Amino acid sequence: MKRLGPFVFERELVAPPGRVLAVSLAAVFLAFFSAGLVFWAYGVSPLLAYRTIFQETLLSPGGFAEAVRRAIPLLLAGVGLVLAFRSQFWNIGAEGQLLLGAVAASGVALFVPLPAVAKLPAMFAAGFLAGGLWAALPALLKLRLGVNDVLTTLMLNYVAVYLVGWLIHGPWRGRSAFGFAYSDRFPPEATLPLIPGTYVHWPTLLLALAAALLAWWGLERTVWGYRLRVVGDNPEAARYAHLPVSRVVASAALISGGLAGLAGVGEVAGVHGRLLDAYQISLGYGYTAIIVAWLARGNPLGAVLTALFMGLVFASGDVMKVALQMPFRVTDVFNGLILFFLISTERLLYYRVRYAPRKKGEG
């Protein structure tokens, strides 16, 4: 128990859901307020900026569809990170895993002769496997050698970026590529159908929603989910109870990377139709998925709402660029502010504040 003036702060082991919601909303509000200062520094009224963003995203069919399109990779990667974080595998490598999924899917689309009906399923399977193995490597290093998983997953992101660059500038460079490097276009059977008038590739959207539902069911209703929760809450207790800790963490890492890999498949097969530069495939979706998972507070179904929210943030970048004449990368500032305030308010989750003024004569 700590005291600050007339207020007493009492430590609690479990954060009540109401307090989690209140603290998360407070963190988002502080991020909005701070972003308003950025708008003001650019000479744009914060009220005008937020009104324009609101009208051009939530109230515009085209703007909302773009937000949903951006939310698809965020949801897939975010659900995977929820599982990884619940097992205390600190996966900061969803960006690289997304890119590996895109590479594997592109390889299948361009070079593997398959019947038309089997092309897309094979691309998704290859993307899941590639992303999962890219995450399994740092998980293995952590479990066997005690290597820091934050560093290894983060560093592998850059390896993935350079791998994509080497492929599109080298062996996979398209025959029609001029100026910017990219691969040849995928054949029609290797591209995903879109909702008419939008870039929303609806099969991947359904896959992302199904992944969120299955992840929630797996966590709450299966033996594997129970083991993962125990390992995440107290690894030593899990070992004392003879739970297969290494197997649980490895499986969470594999699924986490695999879902990020599926996001990469959706981007190349549903949006671009070819393998492009890494920074064109992903606008930092893997890093933003960390915010999606953190805002969801360990709940895969909560990631549906937080992914849509961050998708709206990405869609607002287009609005700021066109309507407000501001750089698109202001969205990166906003993402950073959200993460900063989420981390800085984390300790408030586990303290109950009670008004208890000292009595007369009390020390």
Distance between CA atoms of residues 304 and 284, nearest Å: 18
Distance between CA atoms of residues 142 and 131, nearest Å: 18
4 φ, ψ (degrees, to nearest 5): -135, 95
Distance between CA atoms of residues 133 and 139, nearest Å: 10
Regions in the chain scoring below 50 on pLDDT: none
Residue type, 199: Y
pLDDT at residue 347 in the model: 77
pLDDT at residue 12 in the model: 77
Handedness of CA 293, 295, 300, 304 (dihedral sign): negative
Q: 99, 115, 111: which is closest to 262 by C-alpha?
A: 99
Distance between CA atoms of residues 135 and 257, nearest Å: 5
Both tokens of 323, joined, read 């309507």
pLDDT at residue 104 in the model: 97
pTM: 0.90
- Domain parsing of the chain, residue ranges: 1-44+326-363, 74-308
List pLDDT tens digits, range 188-213: 999 999 999 889 999 999 999 999 99
Distance between CA atoms of residues 96 and 162, nearest Å: 10
Q: How many CB atoms neighbour CB 45 within 10 A?
A: 13
pLDDT at residue 1 in the model: 63
132 Cβ contact partners less than 8 Å away, ≥ 6 residues apart: 97, 253, 254, 255, 256, 257, 258, 261
Handedness of CA 203, 119, 70, 261 (dihedral sign): positive
